[in-house]
Amino acid sequence: MDRVALRGLRARGNHGVFAREREEGQTFVVDVVLHMDTRPAAETDDLTRTAHYGIVAEEVTGIVSGEPVDLIETLAQRIADQCLKHDPVQEVEVTVHKPDAPITVPFDDVTITIHRSRV
């Protein structure tokens, strides 16, 4: 499988289990790797035969800024489900970063990475 990667997609969302997270929101960063066969698009130079990464980026940030969820696990799953709706995409890897997570000790980032496929 070939891979198309979108790294560092940023959007503000109100996800989390604490009231402050839901009220104030925070920035989430998402990385998406779409696994697909890009040969049909390459052979014909036809955008309709691949996943349009601009549209995928808009969909991902729309999910992040959309309906709040408690867990970043749920957020990652929603993003994966949306990516798999694009016909050429056979598998997807989604990493959700929550760099402003409410943790009481110094840290750089909190992430979850999931891998989903059509099968």
State both tokens at 63.
């999910």
Return the ∠ at Cα 89 (arms to 64 and 67), rounded to 5°.
15
* Cβ neighbours around 79 below 10 Å, total: 26
Does 98 participate in catalysis according to the annotation?
yes
State both tokens at 96.
């959700």
Task: Out of 15, 78, 97, 98, pick the active-site residue.
Answer: 98
List active site positions: 98
